Amino acid sequence: MHILMRMICLLALSYMLLLSVPPPWNEEWSMEDAFERLSDFLACPKSIAIKVLQNENMCGFVFGKILQWNGSTSYDLEEICVSSDLQKKGVGKKLMGRLEEVLVEKGVSKIHLITQRDSVPSSFYSSLGFSAIQNLVIMGKNID
């Protein structure tokens, strides 16, 4: 039963992720890719995910993982999704507030995330007190 419930939850999360990639991201997710990303992530022993329900239907979620580094405990926020019809109505703010409560209870002192500069998500995070970390840059390299 637990495995079936987990699969249903992962399918719902995957579907939600598929529906939540408007500009600036404009990402093209397949159901399989979304399911795989979320499944891999939720397999992490220190992952924390919170969902938002409206009339018993999932309308948003946030997930990430707790990391220990250099004497402090932080949370890497990987995904936050809110149904497009509920965006800009306080759902994301409440979701992040609840996440912070849970993290404080677990002794987490920082939240880190990656987002696109000068974007709607960036403005959202700034309104919640997030700011760019000076002297850090995200780097990547294609190896195939």
Domains of the chain, by residue range, sit at 2-127
Burial 108-131 (b: 16+ CB within 10 A, else e): beebeeebeeeeeeeebbeeeebe
Reported as a pLDDT band with limits 50, 70 and 90, residue 10 is low
For the cut 60, the answer to whether the pLDDT of residue 8 exceeds it is no
Query: How many Cβ atoms are within 10 Å of 140's Cβ, its own excluded?
Result: 5
47-71 pLDDT, tens per residue?
Answer: 888 888 888 777 888 889 999 988 8
Q: Which pLDDT value is given to residue 134?
A: 87
Pick the more confident residue, 18 or 64.
64
CATH number of 2-127: 3.40.630.30
Q: What is the mean pLDDT of residues 69-82?
A: 90
Confidence band, pLDDT 50/70/90 cuts, at residue 3: very low
Q: What is the DSSP letter of 54?
A: E
pLDDT bucket at 121, cuts 50 / 70 / 90: confident
Burial state string for 8-46 with b = 16 or more CB within 10 A and e = fewer than 16: ebbeebbebbbebeeeeeeeebeeeebbebbeebbeeee
User: Mean pLDDT across the chain, nearest whole number?
Assistant: 80
Tokens 């397949």 belong to 30
Give 72's DSSP letter: E
Contact 18, 29 (CB under 8 A): yes
pLDDT at 107 over 80: yes
The pLDDT score that the predictor gives to residue 17 is 55
Conformational region of residue 85, where left means phi above 0, alpha means psi within -120 to 50, and beta covers everything else? alpha
